[in-house]
Structure 1
Amino acid sequence: MSLFTNLLNLHLANKPREDFFTEIVAYFFSLNNDILLSWLKHHSIISDQNYSSIKISTQQEHKRLESHTEDSRLDIVVELSTGLNTDVIFIESKIGSTEGWQQLEKYAEILSKLPNVRHRILIYITRDYDPKEIKTLGFSLKPKVNFYQLRWHQFYAHLQQHATDILAKEILIFIRKNGMSTTNQFSSVDLLTMVNFNKTLNLMESTLSEEVQEKFKLAFGGVIKGAASRTQWKWDERYIIYTHLSSSTWDFWCGLGYFNLNPSNVTDYPYLGIFLQVSAGFRERPKIIESMQKVINDKPNIWTPVNLKVLPA
């Protein structure tokens, strides 16, 4: 097991794997500017390396623009300066999760609004296949934003050529452990999944129907028709039945079913669960959050809080 995996396992709450890895990579780049520049040049993101200053920051916050509903927090921001000109790169990293609602579009708009910047670049780098079509938006903005989509296995291959120090080697181990080095080649586990996919799907469908669905209706007032869908599986790593608990659909809702369907390694397993979710903009959010906090205080071994706090508008 890698040093970074051991350190991550010491975290008592929900393991912030993406934030943890973001800090590691950003720190590595700050110590190895040459590797950062060669990686960017390898993917034709920059054309030269004549920068006199490189500044790297993480979890940088930006106040929302007029058209946005909330503030933004950027994984990695890279500022490259030649002394005369400054190029800015936003890097959004994903391991197991997927893009938030119009997250990349928001980042592109923030980039376009930055003053005194020559080149504006947005990089979306993921472990899993997650195609995005925002190039048109980026080029339509004034000033324009150049968008690049990369995979972590590409970074892994590039870093292997520079794995001369212990930090680089530990990063490579962490990437392998978290399934981020995998290319488009099928393993024996993948072939087993192909063979058993329909059988497994039918089993999941049947266990969420009939008795379970009837009990869910009694508890929460109904089930949305066709709720258990593969869309939930693809984008949110879950296969659930659900219903809305407010008149404005997604402001407050409940789901029941299978979670963690795309674990990062073969030792992790899916689990059965139920969740309640309230949107950030719902007017009744403070009251619902207060009730949720009481439930969690009463049953901390059953319920897990996620972002359970009331923020300013």
Structure 2
Amino acid sequence: MNSLFQRLYQLLSSKDRNQQEDYLTEIFAEVLVKEGMLGDFLNKLTDINVSPTNLREVTTQKTYAKKDAHLTDSRPDMMIRFSEGDKHHVLFIENKLGTGEGHQQLQRYADHLRSYEADGCRTHLVYITKAYEPKKKSEIVQNGNNASFDQVRWYQIYNWLKGHQSELINIILEYMEEIQLNDSRRFLPQDMYAIQHMERLIRMMDACMDGPVEDIVTKLFNRSTGWTNRFAQLKESYRYMKQNDQGNYSVINFGFYITDEEYPTACIMFEINPKCPNRPGLIKAMREFIVSNEGWSSEDMDDNTAWSNIYYEKSLLNFLSTDDHIESIQAFFIDRLNELYKLKQQHPEFNWKSKEIGVST
């Protein structure tokens, strides 16, 4: 059975795949409110040296109205107020897993911390990431701001938590292992095997999306497919896909998703940009499509700020019993592309910007 946190996350993620950072923030906040944990975290993983602290407030996802020089409001993942003796401190923590920093995000947070300095508080900004993402303090803490700035990696937090024993922390450690935040910093035998065969695996995945699949995409949707930096996709979005831009703020993606399950999935996805001028009508057509085509699901259909999509995915476990895995996966993609072509045929009003040729069976 998956850990408690993993089961809870799976319930939440059925609506939105992008909530894991917020979810992890809430879990980590629960750790830091325990007696002595905040001071131990700061002393061992940052350059912020504090004596025993008196925790006054821990708030997550607090919104700060944009300043004149800012383009947007700011919402640090965590705001912590604490004191040591008569010294008062304010700490912002920003947590990232797959995505990078938003537009001047850390600089905006540092600007908001300056208002606390006017009240006599010592201020701090901690940036926690999964991947290595070096930042220069001089580019973040500006305009007379005196905030300290520290970067911490999630594998460091995992190793730090291993030095503390409690039922809650043991559950958190189990969850961090499940979402691969435990980076052991040591290669395992299976890692060596994967590296040795990486080129072969890439060729096989590429073969699943090339040949007859590429032909049917070009025939039905009249635009050749392209790569959107497949290795960046693996690092940031846990997927390896080819993309077909339909030219009307909609995109077809097909390839592989690395999921929380034991096996990755073969997936085909039709997405529309939040800026799509025909978005309401296209969303309606997509809803009708998944009702009449079994196996298709949807995400973010009610969020006007997100890329909304319909998708069909199938675990690679389902292909392992066949004689030719690549041929079977290609057939899966071709079947789904023919189904998706119905959406384009039934709704020519959405300005697909391509000459129709006809369906190939």
- TM-score, with structure 2 as normaliser: 0.69
Which residue is 2:322 aligned to? Answer: none
Q: 2:230 aligned with 1:236, yes or no?
A: no
Change (3 A) 1:214 1:160: same
Check 1:296–1:77 CA distance in 2 against 1; reply closer, same or farther (3 A cut): farther
Kindly report the root-mean-square deviation, in angstroms, between the aligned alpha carbons of the 2 structures: 3.1
Aligned to 1:24: 27
Output aligned runs, 1:155-304, within 5 Å. Answer: 155-163=157-165, 165-223=166-224, 226-227=227-228, 229-246=230-247, 252-261=249-258, 263=259, 267-279=262-274, 282=275, 284=276, 287-296=278-287, 298-299=289-290, 301-304=295-298
Residue in 2 aligned with 1:306? 300
Give CA-to-partner distance per residue, 1:34-77, whole Å, 9 cap, x none.
11111111123322235444311112223445565544433222
Match of 1:92, as an amino acid? E
Larger radius of gyration: 2
Contact 2:162 2:173 in 1 (8 A): yes
Q: 1:244 to 1:8 in 2, by over 3 A?
A: closer
Deviation at 1:201, TM superposition (A): 1.0
Contact 1:296–1:305 (CA<8 Å) still a contact in 2?
no
Measure, in 2, the Cα distance between the counterparts of 1:302 and 1:214. Answer: 23
The one of 146, 153, 172 aligned to 1:151: 153
Q: Percent identity?
A: 19
Q: Is the 8 A contact 1:8 1:20 kept in 2?
A: yes
Partner Cα distance (1:137, 1:152) in 2: 23
* 2: CA distance, partners of 1:198 / 1:307: 37
CA distance in 1 between counterparts of 2:281 and 2:71 reads: 23
Question: How is 1:3-22 mapped onto 2 (pairs within 5 angstroms)?
Answer: 3-11=4-12, 12-14=14-16, 16-22=19-25
Partners of 2:298 and 2:11 in 1: CA distance: 18
Gaps of 5+ in 2: 306-361
Cα deviation code 1:12-47 (max 9, x no counterpart): 5346433333212212322x1411111111123322
- The Cα offsets for residues 260-288 of structure 1, whole Å up to 9 and x where unpaired, read as 33x456x1423322231414xx3x45x41
Q: Is the 8 A contact 2:42 2:50 kept in 1?
A: no
Residue aligning to 1:78: 80
Aligned partner of residue 92 in structure 2, secondary structure: strand
Q: Aligned pair in 2 of structure 1 residues 208, 151: CA closer, same or farther (>3 Å)? A: same
**Stretch of structure 1 that moved more, 13-22 or 180-189:** 13-22
Q: Secondary structure at the match of 1:91?
A: strand
Question: Aligned AA for 1:37?
Answer: G
Give the corresponding residue for 1:106.
105
Total equivalences in the alignment: 295
CA contact (8 A) 1:29 1:36 kept: yes
Q: Tell me by how many angstroms 1:154 deviates.
A: 1.5
Question: Would you say the 8 A contact 2:128–2:154 is kept in 1?
Answer: yes
Task: Give the 3-state SS of the residue equivalent to 1:121 in structure 2.
Answer: strand
Residues 293 and 308 in structure 1, CA contact (< 8 A), matched pair in contact too: no
Partner Cα distance (1:63, 1:277) in 2? 30
| Contact 2:79–2:92 (8 Å) recurs in 1 | yes
| Aligned-partner residue type, residue 75 of structure 2 | R
> Contact 1:227/1:241 (CA < 8 Å) preserved in 2?
yes
The CA distance in 2 between the partners of 1:268 and 1:89, in whole Å, is: 40
Is the Cα contact below 8 Å between 2:244 and 2:253 reproduced in 1? no
